[in-house]
Structure 1
Amino acid sequence: MRGRVRIVALVSVVLAAAVAGCTAADTEAGPDDTMAPKARAYLTSALDVMEKHALVTEDVDWPKLRQDAFTEARQARKSSDTYRAIRQGLQDLNDGHIRGGRLLIGR
């Protein structure tokens, strides 16, 4: 039960950040066609939340997970462009709550 509450809290925080983070200013391109600053900040924040609230932390290679997420979102212009990288990061936690990019709660 306690694990389920932590997952629901983690997903709630990530979703709340998604809603709050979507603004017109998010589309500013970064230098040399890189990730826009707002998208970078959004992804960093989501990964920070994931790391802080992950159920299994010892088995996660956080530097690799972060690098993979930033590689996936390297051309993100807005916060929503980072969703695929966040979904993959949640799946890479391999804690049994994400399967095929879908959150499994209460199963």
Structure 2
Amino acid sequence: MVREHIPQARTAHEPVRTCIGCRERAARSELLRIVAGTDSNGQPAVCPDPDRTAAGRGAHLHPTAECYELAVRRRAFSRALRAGAGLASASVRDYVDSSAFNRD
């Protein structure tokens, strides 16, 4: 008995990540990657990485004020990035506030 090979349609696979604010899973393209870095004063800080090219451990966050506030309240930045306590997150807040994702 000869079986014909029927090619299956390939679907594009989009990596899925979890938002550290709301803890919901979403496609990587819908989330903002954040990394540990330094602020303008040289102090440890959380930095947005919209191009997803920065080296090191990253975490993901929906670029909304609600998810940002949840992440701050839960102290999720330090935990997700495995950094010590006291990471400033003002640069992420500024990015979220000015983000094109929030504009309709």
TM-score over 0.5 (shorter chain): no
Q: Which has the higher helix share?
A: 1
In the superposition, the TM-score normalised over structure 2's length comes to 0.29
Which structure exhibits the higher relative contact order, with contacts defined as CA atoms closer than 8 Å and separated by 6 or more residues?
A: 1
In the superposition, the TM-score normalised over structure 1's length comes to 0.28
Larger radius of gyration: 2
